[in-house]
């Protein structure tokens, strides 16, 4: 009985003496690569090229709208009768009429455009209402 207990090897000794086959090594690499991809896309923040292009386009449109709205507000405030127009603007009952007021005043028409952009007018109206 004493011989059996001395012939047992520890887990560390078995790990050191283990010699995997090439098949096991290849499958281990494949499983590791797949696990890395799954973790990267689900929790690591990785995205495909198409997703990043959509995000960049959306960010560009948002930035463009914010800049155009800021220009609209500046044009409104630079007008000679800005104080009176602001009182008239704030007296309007709803956001639709306020947006129409901004569009009619021409402040939401950007250089090179022939008509006002409703998104710009909406952003400008929101900024002026605050």
Instruction: Say how far apart CA 50 and CA 29 lie, in whole Å.
Output: 28
| pLDDT of 3 | 46
- Residue 8: the pLDDT is 81
- The 10s digit of each residue's pLDDT in 56-115 is 999 999 999 999 999 999 999 999 999 999 999 999 999 999 999 999 999 999 888 888
**Residue 72 burial by CB count (10 A; 0-12/13-18/19+): exposed, middle or buried?**
buried
Q: How buried is residue 92: exposed, middle or buried, by Cβ count under 10 Å (0-12/13-18/19+)? A: middle
In the prediction, which pLDDT does 51 show? 95
pLDDT of residue 15: 86
pLDDT at 124: 94
Sort 25 into a burial class: Cβ within 10 Å, 0-12 / 13-18 / 19+.
exposed
Tokens 């569009």 sit at which residue? 103
Residues 116 and 70: their CA atoms lie apart, in Å, by 14
Q: Residue 6's pLDDT is what?
A: 52
Burial of 124 (0-12, 13-18, 19+ CB in 10 A): buried
Could you give the percent of the chain with pLDDT greater than 90? 74
Angle ∠(66,69,70) on CA atoms, nearest 5: 85
């Amino acid at each position: 009985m004493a011989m059996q207990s001395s012939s047992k090897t520890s887990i560390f000794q078995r790990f050191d003496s283990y010699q995997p086959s090439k098949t096991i090594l290849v499958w281990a690499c494949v499983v590791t690569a797949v696990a890395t991809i799954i973790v990267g896309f689900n929790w690591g923040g990785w995205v495909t090229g198409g997703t990043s292009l959509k995000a960049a386009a959306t960010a560009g449109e948002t930035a463009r709208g914010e800049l155009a709205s800021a220009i609209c507000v500046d044009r409104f405030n630079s007008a000679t009768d800005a104080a009176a127009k602001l009182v008239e603007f704030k007296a309007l009952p709803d956001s639709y009429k306020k947006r129409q007021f901004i569009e009619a005043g021409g402040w939401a028409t950007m250089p090179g455009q022939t008509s006002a952009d409703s998104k710009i007018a909406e952003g400008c109206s929101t900024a002026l209402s605050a």
